[in-house]
Amino acid sequence: MMSIRAIIVDDEELARQVLQEYLSSEADIQVVAESGNGFDAVKAVAEHKPDLLFLDVQMPKLDGFEVLELIGSDVAVVFVTAYDQYAMKAFDAAAVDYLLKPFDQERFRTALQRVRRRLGEKAQHPNAADLRTAAQPPGQYSQRIVVRDGVRVHIIPVAQLDYVEAQDDYVALHSGGKRYLKQQTISSLEGSLDPGRFVRVHRSYIVNLERVAKIEPYTKDTRLAVLTGGAQVPVSRAGYLRLKELMEKS
């Protein structure tokens, strides 16, 4: 029988106690840590390197989606949540299972069966940033972006984001003269940002409309957006039409 190392992450002490009680009868699962908030969860995963994470979604400091973005994809995840039904398809795509509070022990054991099968298969986990975008209700957009840099966690309010540059499967986030690298596609990030404030001006660039100081000719088919901080971003023909439309509205 394989030994499964688990961490419980939930800001409600009672919820953690229920999981501990249910797990006490599972001989192959060892709870190596508990966390009451997202920051502690990220640290605990780095320290203990668990096989399994029981993860709440709505928590202070960092929510469950942000925790997933920061810990990587080498751990199986079971969401333990009271989150609305809209997000369930997204959970199905990225998690081994989800437990909708309140749940009983029989439902919990079903989740554990799925965990054991998944760990045996060593299946690939989808990108957590893509999950977050998929789970956003229509008309709601990200207010901040989390980035992990070694042991440090940076939280970037989207209002302070100047522009985004695609770099293969990563994006470079430019904010306040600093550059942060995050593993996420530019298309996925674009879907999480308010299209009334952020414009895809080029296949490799998104700009904050409020940062655009002027637009200058560059080549026959392209232009340059000059931002308030002095950065210059290429603008394609299609990007220019989108940018012009939004600037005329603002």
| b/e code 227-241 from CB counts within 10 Å (16+ = b) | beeebebbbbeebbe
Q: Say if 4-133 and 141-249 have the same CATH topology.
A: no
Every domain of the chain and the residues it spans: 4-133, 141-249
Per-residue pLDDT of the chain (250 residues), as tens digits, is 579 999 999 999 999 999 999 999 999 999 999 999 999 999 999 999 999 999 998 888 888 888 988 887 688 999 888 876 656 665 666 788 888 889 999 999 999 999 999 888 765 555 666 666 666 677 788 899 999 887 788 999 999 999 999 998 899 999 999 999 998 899 989 989 999 999 999 999 999 999 999 999 988 888 999 999 999 999 999 999 999 888 887 7
Is the CB of residue 133 less than 8 Å from the CB of residue 145? Answer: no
**Domain 141-249: top CATH class:** mainly beta
* CB neighbour list of residue 235: distance below 8 Å, 6 or more residues apart: 201, 202, 205, 215, 218, 222, 223, 224, 225, 243
The correct CATH number of 4-133 out of 3.30.300.30, 3.40.50.620, 3.40.50.2300, 1.20.120.430 is: 3.40.50.2300
Residue 82, C-beta contacts closer than 8 angstroms, at least 6 positions apart: 58, 100, 101
**Alpha-carbon distance 190 to 14, whole Å?**
38
> By C-alpha distance, which of 210, 174, 170, 212 is closest to 187?
170
Write the DSSP assignment of 125-139 as a string of letters. Answer: ---HHHHHHHHSPTT
Q: Distance of CA 210 to CAs 4, 49, 195, Å? A: 49, 42, 12
Output the pLDDT for position 41: 94
pLDDT of residue 60: 81
pLDDT at 69: 85
Helices (H), the chain: 13-23, 38-48, 64-71, 88-94, 105-121, 128-135, 186-192, 237-249
Separation CA 80–CA 90 (nearest Å): 14
pLDDT value of position 93: 60
Q: Are 226 and 235 in contact (CB under 8 A)?
A: no
